């Protein structure tokens, strides 16, 4: 067995040379899951609270707490907006979930989402210089059902402590009501990353994929597999970006969406799906096999694969077909299999394959930009501005079939997104304060560098301890043994 390096720079090198692409793909998933389990246990999670103010002598406790802090309380009492500059509120996000749809694992109980929510907070700090707190909540009502109103009430109650709220992993149909209600009811941005975040980065990827393929968004035929929070929002943003609704077909677990779907029409909780029934698929195509024939684009966010999307579907698509299979942790079809079936451009949600279309490229910069201008909400126009920002950044660096998106190690993309989102917030009239594009960009870069320097200092001084390489070796052995 080849020993994995601590940087995890080449996961394929872990596996024997005679392993097939499929074996390596399956093995990487197992390796990453096993390593995640042991590494999370080693660190007891991924985040902690560290003060950012100094203690220079005993009496500083009287400044940071009583009696000095009384002046802070009364100042904020008289002007609530002062809380954004007199506390950490202006750079603090609540990552809130009831854990009812965690990645591809479904309902994981309220505490089961903590790993993902801590991960979100971790990425916000490292990629965007944003502080965040993971809050997993119990949304059960007295009848034992998950209740959207419980989530709505909770978020309304905690908003005075935060500059923005990131909703995550809330199952449908509750996710629709929760987001739409809170966006209007709260005076800080409430952002649903599975919906708006995934929508934003998917639109960015599609913009560049179409450029590489030489196709016009207004003329292509698009099939969307999955009609949950992610794909319904992606569809809405793609239509706003110029796609033709007559050339779009949505597919859920019961077939294609169209105006004869009485099961959707009769359930008012699924109003977002019914809107798409009315907008798309005017020919009332009934099944995905027919919908995908000669299609230009297939965007799947349905359920983990690898055999959810069939090779035959891709073979029947038009020339230079574009296939996004973005379910996590395993895409609906592996990229190599999609390529074998004739796909020209393939993207997934994972960073160990080319063309990662993952909301981690969007939310750190989007939330940072919204926070810096103290936005009251994140509009669809702000999400689209972020999509074009990501796409333009990648295009300037050079795009081709194996690179339609930036990668997470390109720090400047997050600052660029923050700047473009902040400018759009000001344009939309939802910003409390005005900043120049340059000011937002420079502030974001500074905060990202400070966050990373802090982490490097903690690692250098062994306050963040280096994991034993045996953890990596044990995970690698399990992965190899599982797919032999």
Verify whether residue 334 is a known catalytic residue: no
> Among 3, 65, 397, 434, which one carries the catalytic annotation?
65
Verify whether residue 120 is a known catalytic residue: yes
The tokens for 95 are 């990552």
How many degrees, rounded to 5, is the angle at CA 231 between CA 222 and CA 125? 125
> Among 26, 28, 46, 120, which one carries the catalytic annotation?
120
Catalytic residues: 65, 120
């Amino acid at each position: 067995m080849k020993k994995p390096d601590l940087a995890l720079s080449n996961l394929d090198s872990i596996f024997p040379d005679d392993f097939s692409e499929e074996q390596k793909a399956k093995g990487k998933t197992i390796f990453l899951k096993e390593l995640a389990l042991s590494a999370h246990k080693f660190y007891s999670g991924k985040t902690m609270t560290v003060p950012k103010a100094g203690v220079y002598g005993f009496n500083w406790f009287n400044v940071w707490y009583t009696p000095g802090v009384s002046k802070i309380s009364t100042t904020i009492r008289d002007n609530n907006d002062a809380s954004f500059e007199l506390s950490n509120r202006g750079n603090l996000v609540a990552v809130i979930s009831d854990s009812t749809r965690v990645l591809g694992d479904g309902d994981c109980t309220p505490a089961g989402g903590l790993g993902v929510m801590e991960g979100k907070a971790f990425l916000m700090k490292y990629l965007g210089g944003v502080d965040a707190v993971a809050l997993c909540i119990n949304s059960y009502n007295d009848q034992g059902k998950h209740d959207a109103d419980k989530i709505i009430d909770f978020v309304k109650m905690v908003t005075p402590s935060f500059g923005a709220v990131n909703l995550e992993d809330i199952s449908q149909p509750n996710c629709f009501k929760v987001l739409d209600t809170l966006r209007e009811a709260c005076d800080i941005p409430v952002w649903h990353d599975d919906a708006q975040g995934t929508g934003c980065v998917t639109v960015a990827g599609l913009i560049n994929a179409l450029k590489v393929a030489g196709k016009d968004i207004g003329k292509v035929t698009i099939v969307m597999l999955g009609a949950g929070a992610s794909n319904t929002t992606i569809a809405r943003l793609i239509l706003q970006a110029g796609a033709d609704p007559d050339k779009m077909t949505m597919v859920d677990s019961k077939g294609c969406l169209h105006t004869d779907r009485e099961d959707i029409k009769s359930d008012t909780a699924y109003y977002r799906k019914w809107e798409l029934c009315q907008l798309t698929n005017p020919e009332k195509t009934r099944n995905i096999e027919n919908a995908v024939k000669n299609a230009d684009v297939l965007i799947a966010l349905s359920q983990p694969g690898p055999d959810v999307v069939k090779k035959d579907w891709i073979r029947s698509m038009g020339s230079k077909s574009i296939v996004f299979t973005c379910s996590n942790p395993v895409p609906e079809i592996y990229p190599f299999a999609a390529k074998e079936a004739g796909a020209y451009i393939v993207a997934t949600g994972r960073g160990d394959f080319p063309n990662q279309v993952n909301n981690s490229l969007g939310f750190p910069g989007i939330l940072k930009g919204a926070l810096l201008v103290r936005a009251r909400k994140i509009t669809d126009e702000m999400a689209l501005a972020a999509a074009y920002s990501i796409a333009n950044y990648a295009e300037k660096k050079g795009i081709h079939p194996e690179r339609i998106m930036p990668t997470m190690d390109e720090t400047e993309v997050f600052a660029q997104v923050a700047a473009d989102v902040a400018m759009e917030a000001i344009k939309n009239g939802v910003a409390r304060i005005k900043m120049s594009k340059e000011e937002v960009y420079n502030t974001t870069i500074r905060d990202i560098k400070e966050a990373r320097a802090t982490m490097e200092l903690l690692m250098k001084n062994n306050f963040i301890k280096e994991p034993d390489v045996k953890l990596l070796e044990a995970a690698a052995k399990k992965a190899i043994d599982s797919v032999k």
